[in-house]
Structure 1
Amino acid sequence: MTIPHPNIPSHQRAAIRHGTGTTSTTTIETIPVHPPGPGQILLKITWTGLCGSDKSLLRDEWTDFGLTMTPKAQGIAGHEGVGTVVAIGPGMENRWKIGERAGVKWIASTCGECEFCLTGTDEVNCVNQVNSGFSAPGTFQEYCLADGRYASRIPDGVADEEAGPMMCGGVTVYVACKRSNVKAGQWIVLPGAGGGLGHLAIQFARAMGMRVIAIDTGEEKRELCQRLGAEVFIDFQQTPDVGAEIIKITKYGAHGIIVTAATKAVYAAAPRYLRPNGTLVAVGLPKDASILAGAPPILMALKKLNVVGSIVGSLKDVEEALDFTARGIVHPVLTKGKLEDLDSWVEKMANGQLAGRVVLQVAS
């Protein structure tokens, strides 16, 4: 039996994509609100983050990789949504209560039956996963259905607008920090440190005891990175040889580097910032399929470098990342907007005009 909230409307507002490629746009339209089925909950979305992946899906930037928004998404992107439970589907009555807060992530649901799900720690690679804004309607709508097993519970002390970016951007760099294998007291390099992912990576790295070298440009980015805990800031436009500067600071090179900037130049330079046995973590997803993460084989072999990829995180990883915010250790720097202005925010993101993470108010 579905447990509803008495004030759920029959229709809602949603940002629907029209067109394809870089000329695609979204319009606010009225669509039905669907009740939750077995295993589902219905959320009234208050805030949703705008992630770089949303831009890539809305503008078909990953077609070279065979990734485009599927018809099942119904043109509704978004995967960093947070809201209030307003209806509970059959089977979820003992897990959720009306009025509790929950978050919707890139991974909307997993099968729980494949080899990766059954390991208990690696469901991120579930072969039957459903993804918000890609193969299911996302969070750019007022009311969003969510898998009650896989929605994230939002802890006290974390505002909805802060929790949204943690559903993807925050947990992505948190897991990347873990996959870097950099220990407390060791050096990690963060190119693009003043950006949406980078500024969160600084905070997680510092919380784990790492020594942070932030790379970006401009006094505004310098002030932000140093305020968030970067020990060293390198302005790449003012520094003739960034690699030499890193060697000067670290003696043998950094122990790890997290590449969030999805550019060919950064991926090409990153391995040379590392010391022997160092680890490069590939996080940024370029739309150019010719860009590779790695180094010439002779450099890889002589320095015994590690190159690993990292994408979002497990349900447990999200819980851990949210706990850093609940304890006041990690806070996203937010730029706030409205769902109605989605296209203008996507354009600003495409032009590199945004600082920190963008969150859009969906419902009050």
Structure 2
Amino acid sequence: MINKIIGFILIILSFLGGWTWMDYQNALTLPALTGTQPVYIEIGKGDSLTRIADKLVEQNLTFKPFWFKVIAFQKKVAKKLKTGEYELTPGLTIPEILALFEQGKTKQYAITFLEGWRFSEIMQEVASNPHLEHTLSFKAVPEPDSSSKTVDFQEVMSRLGADTKSPEGLFFPDTYFFEKHMPDMSLLKRAYDRMQSVLQREWLNRAENLPFKTPYEALTLASIIEKETATVAERPLIAGVFIRRLENDMLLQTDPAVIYGMGENYQGDIGFADIKTATPYNTYVIRGLPPTPIAMPGRDAIYAALHPDKSKSLYFVARGDGTHVFSSTLKDHNQAVNRYQRKKK
């Protein structure tokens, strides 16, 4: 019926002047956006077809709003245009623009959470992103021993429905794409759900006889592995060292956990007093794993924690080039320390 009405209108207009039919054909086939740069338009909730056409005119698109509305009705999409921000590239015709609006192909923004980041770094990235809708009342979280900070990150955990008090390590590091005005909690939930999914999948496929009671314990070790090395091939080796230390009731003695426990007191170096000062994360003092993860581990680190190397090494020391020397005896380890660490001092 709509097409018949529009056709009737076009017939009448054609009698009024041949230019009218040509105008209609141009609206169908010629680019509405010329030039070399894209333009952006945001369709808001409740925007009428007339308001949408006006917004396009404001962006200097070369078309007549009358034909925009005629074509929208002709294609039966006038009431199907979806809200959101759209990127319109040069060369698009009115029918192509309407198809974008109908399909809801909105502009996507990206935010990246890096492997090894703390939750405080995630929140800084979220809080500074201008394209998200900010619903949370804080921009950072307190470090483990910083009682002077009063920011309550439990709001996030509560809104996620999580039964873990600390948010550390529970958000998967990745690049996430989102539409403009997505609520910050919606984005965080995606990262949280992704970590739960990855962790559960890896847990179900774990090696046998590991000293973990829960996936969360594996996540905690994975976070330490993540901070110990960026070399993917070494992660199972480092995981093997820590697994054997746990099995032999040895101290983990991992510096990244100590640093995490120091919080704001860490100034770029660990001293003798630091490794003697008890904190829940000082693995030179406490036995077993720290109480929570210390960072966001990636998939490789999680896999390594659940598929550790089966050799006999119990020690490792950094060479200074991003790799490590692994030793199975304290004597060999001390020799490696003398070669690669003490000589530098």
> Common fold, TM-score beyond 0.5?
no
- Rg comparison, structure with higher value: 2
TM range (shorter): under 0.3
Higher relative contact order (CA 8 A, sep 6+): 1
TM, length-normalised to structure 1: 0.22
Structure ranking higher in strand proportion: 1
Structure ranking higher in helix proportion: 2
TM, length-normalised to structure 2: 0.23
